[in-house]
Amino acid sequence: MSLNIRRSNRFVACLVLLAACASTLAQPTAEPDQRQRRPARMLSLGSQRGQAIKDYEAVYEQYLAWCNLPADQRRSTQQRPERDQIVEEYRALIERYPRTEVAGMARVDILELYGASDDMIAADSAYHEVLESLAFTEYEMDAHTYLGLVWLQRKGSPAQAMKYFQAIPDPRNTPYRLVMPGGTVPSKPGELRPEERLYVRAQTQVLRCLVRQRRLDEAEKARANLVAAYPEVLDAVDRSMWKMKVEEFNLPVEARGSTPGGPSYSGSFNVSDIPEEPWNPQAKELPTTPSVPRPASSSLPAVPAAAAPQRGSAKSWLFALAAVCLLLAGGLEIVRQRIR
């Protein structure tokens, strides 16, 4: 009897240790953009650029033809082989022209292919590939923006969409320069830099997400913070929010005012004007316009990055589930030994 108990105790100890390891592995994996990241070292295509762009455009024509299919066809399993063939051709381009503008455009197109087919698991994987290989490039910002719009407009999930818009870093807190092929175009006096324009557009979408979740106090505070940091965007932000009020919350046209040249906005935006009834999203198709080919740039110093949406390890969760099953089996074994 005592020998059986000692064996059972050792068995339970092993199971507890196994469960502890599984619990650790089951935690969401830390993404590269949550640590110190170096902006991607983009390479110039040089004399190969003409041929590289031709190669890209040949695949891109297939991409456009597939994306122009009706939505129900794109999302059907029958179209997966054709989509996957296009993905493989894009990956061949990435291998042929690594760390160049062609590789960047190809990776974003792959993400959009998965998004257009509503394959969000594959889209998430492609998204993280962009983050890992194209840090602080315009292609990374395109990836954040694209998935944010997918979740906001097509999937009707403003809470999920916010995670992607908020991943675009604030240039005030993260003093980085966007890695753009050919270098960052200098801004004229009084104009926002490309990094600032990206951030303002992303924060405007965050405002929309907050309003659609009826988090009105947070929306008012976020708007005040945005226009305090960038006073020149006050009118643009208010026009955007007013447009949402009229078009998506169906406020009467008389409430918006108009001019002979088109609609206008006067006064500051007040989110309390939004009706109390919940927002009823309707499926919208996103544009699939590609990035225009541009020359590549060199590397920049390391800078901290904004946190992006996390993903967990499926294998780790399966391992944890197996450990729980073993624990239950061990408990039954102890009960059986004691009964003896």
DSSP-derived secondary structure letter, 137: B
Give 288-300 as a DSSP string: -PPPPP-------
CATH architecture for segment(s) 34-214+286-311: Alpha Horseshoe (1.25)
Q: Per-residue pLDDT for the chain (340 aa), expressed as one digit of tens each?
A: 554 545 555 555 555 555 555 444 444 333 444 346 778 888 888 899 999 999 999 999 999 999 999 999 999 988 899 999 999 999 999 999 999 999 999 999 999 999 999 999 999 999 999 999 998 888 999 999 999 999 998 999 999 999 999 999 888 877 667 766 555 455 566 678 888 888 999 999 999 899 888 888 898 899 889 989 988 888 888 777 777 765 666 555 444 444 334 444 444 455 555 444 444 444 444 444 444 343 333 333 333 444 555 554 445 555 566 666 666 766 666 666 666 6
Q: Using CA atoms, how far apart are residues 63 and 290, in angstroms rounded to an integer?
A: 10
Return all residues near 154 (Cβ < 8 A) that are at least 6 apart: 118, 283, 284, 285, 286
pLDDT of 330: 67
Residues 194 and 178 sit within 8 Å (Cβ to Cβ) = yes
CA 88 to chain centre: 22
Residues 18 and 323 sit within 8 Å (Cβ to Cβ) = yes
Residues 100 and 112 sit within 8 Å (Cβ to Cβ) = no
CA 103 to chain centre: 19
Residues 149 and 161 sit within 8 Å (Cβ to Cβ) = yes
Question: How buried is residue 326: exposed, middle or buried, by Cβ count under 10 Å (0-12/13-18/19+)?
Answer: middle
Structure tokens at 38: 């170096």
- Domain edges within the chain: 1-29+312-340, 34-214+286-311, 223-277
DSSP-derived secondary structure letter, 76: S
pLDDT of 12: 52
Q: Using CA atoms, how far apart are residues 143 and 133, in angstroms rounded to an integer?
A: 12
DSSP-derived secondary structure letter, 272: G
* Cα Rg, the chain, nearest whole Å: 25
DSSP-derived secondary structure letter, 152: I
